[in-house]
Amino acid sequence: MAQQPMQEPQSNTLKLILAWGFVGIPLAWGIVRTVTNALKLFR
Amino acid sequence: MSFLDRDRTIAKPGFSRWLIPPAALCVHLCIGQAYAFSVFNLPMTKLLGIAQSAPDDWALTDLGWIFSLAIFFLGASAALLGRWVEEGGPRRAMFTAALCWSGGFLIAAVGVYLHNIWIVYFGYGIVGGFGLGLGYISPVSTLIKWFPDRPGMATGMAIMGFGGGAFIASPLSVWLMQQFSTPTHVGVAETFLALGAIYFCFMMVGAAIVRVPPAGWKPEGYVAPAQPKKLVTTRDVYVYDALKTPQFWLIWAILCLNVTAGIGVLGQASAMSQEMFPGRVTVVAASGFVGLMSLFNMGGRFFWASMSDLLGRRNTYFIFFALGTLLYAAVPSTGAIGSVVLFVIAYGVIFSMYGGGFATVPAYLKDMFGTRYVGAIHGLLLTAWSMAGIFGPTLVNYIRAYNVAHGVEKAQAYNVTMYVMAVLLVVGFICNYFVSAVHGRYHMKLRQAEEAA
């Protein structure tokens, strides 16, 4: 089958920001909390 | 429900493939909670006594079975239902995983409320375990199909989420228990209910976003290599035919050995750091060390799986086993010279490769068996994880207990363990050496492949 190019219209940018923010923000929060605790190892 | 049908998830022109990793992460970040289940252990031993355990309260040994059952049913469900996941499409699998995972929490909440451990085993361990298995494999083949140019990176991103889920679940669970607890009530049942509801919503967002590419779709500008690599097939192997190949069992052994070595010391990391550096690593610092190792475990999933796209899957595992052998053998020396920094660095790299082993294996399977049934074959392979979950901790605990019983000092009791783990990795290196291309007789015939597609 011929290649179907997938363009990325403007609406995709908003969807991408929302989708990545939805998973990225909680993950970043968890990582920051873990790093803060881990720093106690070197104090 | 037609909303769940595979046909309804075929992407329309203009869909960005970069929406698929967050869809996968919606599922993996939720099911990664399993790694943080231990935060409930202590509160669940005081459900009746509240301030301290009452005689009828559950013991830690009773509670340990909840996590073990969940991991066992993760492997079992992934192996049994892999083909159903592959043929039903990712949305149906993610929806079912969300129902099982959140349903498991709801049933477990009833078990906690009634103080019946068997209901908790059934809820979190069995129903939730099925959610774990279905959720774990549901996005794998979809990601590989959307990212034929970077399959390692794509699956690495999702499986990184499984490692990262505990970072969210652990503080969230503690916070929820604080909100629901009263002087006469621990608040575990309500926390389970809240987590079940939150995870269901989060996973459903993933199910709504996920799409499969149209047949024959390729990324813009992507040209498949004219000269296929020796260890990367362009043909597909039927899920149950993969079991007949030596390659499947070699990769099974590779995953099992890599995970056995990592999981064995993962559970002992806190105690090991304190006993190897007595007086220097406190209980608080040890918990920070465990958190740091979890970060390396998570980061390694993305880093090594992405690197495997450049280095090749076999070479990546050669690095895991060669470097891992050296580092496991070097850990006792870090204790002997009293260097906490070297100890942490060695462990950091070891745990990055432990996570990397999980995340690189779907792409290794894709290279060997093609994309059509890679999710289902991955499901079968996860039985290696279940096996390693039993082998690893048992081996470490037994060796340590044997050494201590024979008068070896606690600080040195882990040395033999490290050397045994190094030997396991040498065996893994040998298994990896024998991996070659799958024989053509196992490839699906063209007509079969078209019917399956």
Tell me: the pLDDT tens digits for B17-27? 999 999 999 99
Region B387-394: what's the mean pLDDT? 80
Rounded Cα–Cα distance for residues B139 and B160 (Å):
13
Which residue did the predictor score with more confidence, B29 or B35? B29
Pick from A3, A20, A40: which is nearest to B285 by CB? A40
Inspect the interface and report whether the beta carbons of A40 and B170 lie closer than 8 Å: no
The confidence score (pLDDT) of residue A2 equals: 41
Local structure of B51: helix, strand or coil:
coil
Q: Are residues B263 and B193 in the same domain?
A: no
Q: Which residues contact B364 (CB under 8 A, 6 or more apart)?
A: B251, B308, B313, B314, B317
Residues of B with CB under 8 A from a CB of A: 11, 13-19, 22-23, 25-26, 29, 161, 164, 166-168, 170-171, 205, 209, 214-220, 281, 284-289, 291-292, 294-295, 340, 344
B223 to chain A: nearest residue by CA? A3
The confidence score (pLDDT) of residue B286 equals: 78
The confidence score (pLDDT) of residue A3 equals: 47
Number of DSSP helices (H) and strands (E) in chain B, helices first = 19, 0
Q: Are residues B8 and B141 in the same domain?
A: yes
Do residues B173 and B244 lie in contact, with contact meaning Cβ atoms separated by under 8 Å?
no
Asked if A14 is an interface residue toward chain B (Cβ–Cβ < 8 A), one would say: no
Which residue did the predictor score with more confidence, B348 or A36? B348
Q: Is residue B216 part of a domain?
A: no
Region B89-98: what's the mean pLDDT? 96
Q: Are residues B11 and B51 in the same domain?
A: yes
Residue percentage of chain B with pLDDT more than 90: 58
Rounded Cα–Cα distance for residues B239 and B236 (Å):
9
- Per-residue pLDDT reduced to its tens digit, A1-43: 444 445 456 778 999 999 999 999 999 998 898 888 777 666 6
The confidence score (pLDDT) of residue A1 equals: 42
CA distance A25 to chain B (A): 10
Please give the biggest Cα pair distance in chain A: 60
Q: Is residue B30 part of a domain?
A: yes
Domain end residue (candidates: B209, B231, B248): B209
Q: Are residues B130 and B253 in the same domain?
A: no
DSSP symbol at B371: S
Residues across chain A? 43
Question: Which tokens hold the place of B194?
Answer: 């809240």
Pick from A2, A9, A41: which is nearest to B288 by CB? A41
Beta strands, E only, B296-351: none
Inspect the interface and report whether the beta carbons of A12 and B14 lie closer than 8 Å: yes
The confidence score (pLDDT) of residue B113 equals: 96
Encoded amino acid at B352, one letter: S
CB-side neighbour CA atoms (13 Å) of B300? 24
B334 falls in which pLDDT band (50, 70, 90)? Answer: confident
Q: From residue B437, how far is each of B183, B237, B367, B382 by CA, in Å?
A: 63, 12, 9, 21
Q: Are residues B278 and B345 in the same domain?
A: yes
Is the pLDDT confidence value at B265 over 90? no
Is the pLDDT confidence value at B81 over 80? yes
Distance between first and last Cα of chain B: 21
Is the pLDDT confidence value at B449 over 80? no
Q: Which of B87-96, B266-275, B348-357, B420-429 comes out lowest in average pLDDT?
A: B266-275
Is the pLDDT confidence value at B6 over 60? yes
Q: Are residues B173 and B254 in the same domain?
A: no
B147 falls in which pLDDT band (50, 70, 90)? Answer: very high
Pick from A9, A41, A43: which is nearest to B289 by CB? A41
Please report the number of interchain residue pairs, chain A to chain B, with beta-carbon separation below 8 angstroms: 100
Pick from A3, A16, A43: which is nearest to B19 by CB? A16
The confidence score (pLDDT) of residue B326 equals: 96
Which structural domain range is residue B45 located in? 2-209
Give me chain B's average pLDDT, please: 90
- Per-residue pLDDT reduced to its tens digit, B279-306: 777 777 777 788 888 899 999 999 999 9
Is the pLDDT confidence value at B452 over 70? no
CA dihedral (B414, A34, B22, B303) in degrees, to 10, reads -50
Asked if A23 is an interface residue toward chain B (Cβ–Cβ < 8 A), one would say: yes
Q: What is the CATH number of the domain that holds B175?
A: 1.20.1250.20
Q: Is residue B229 part of a domain?
A: no
3-state helix, strand, coil in chain A (%, to 5): 75, 0, 25
Q: Are residues B245 and B290 in the same domain?
A: yes
Q: Are residues B199 and B325 in the same domain?
A: no
Q: Are residues B378 and B272 in the same domain?
A: yes
Which residue did the predictor score with more confidence, B48 or B291? B48
B156 falls in which pLDDT band (50, 70, 90)? Answer: very high
Q: Which of B37-46, B278-287, B404-413 reaches the highest mean pLDDT?
A: B37-46
- Per-residue pLDDT reduced to its tens digit, B378-387: 999 999 988 8
Do residues B380 and B239 lie in contact, with contact meaning Cβ atoms separated by under 8 Å?
yes
Q: Which of B50-59, B240-249, B310-319 comes out lowest in average pLDDT?
A: B50-59
Q: Which of A1-5, B420-424, B437-441 comes out lowest in average pLDDT?
A: A1-5
Is the pLDDT confidence value at B413 over 80? no
Which residues in B lie closer than 8 A to residue A16 (C-beta atoms)?
16, 18-19
Do residues B146 and B213 lie in contact, with contact meaning Cβ atoms separated by under 8 Å?
yes
CA dihedral (A28, B165, B219, B357) in degrees, to 10, reads 110
Q: How much is the pTM? A: 0.87
Do residues B275 and B411 lie in contact, with contact meaning Cβ atoms separated by under 8 Å?
yes
Q: Are residues B133 and B82 in the same domain?
A: yes
Rounded Cα–Cα distance for residues B412 and B405 (Å):
13
A4 to chain B: nearest residue by CA? B217
Looking up tokens 């690593």 gives: B281
The count of domains in chain B is 2
B372 falls in which pLDDT band (50, 70, 90)? Answer: confident
Q: Are residues B112 and B202 in the same domain?
A: yes
Q: Is residue B98 part of a domain?
A: yes
Beta strands, E only, B140-210: none
CA distance B8 to chain A (A): 18
Which residues in A lie closer than 8 A to residue B168 (C-beta atoms)?
26-27, 29-30
DSSP symbol at B158: H
Region B223-243: what's the mean pLDDT? 83
B341 to chain A: nearest residue by CA? A42
Inspect the interface and report whether the beta carbons of A35 and B295 lie closer than 8 Å: yes
Rounded Cα–Cα distance for residues B145 and B150 (Å):
10
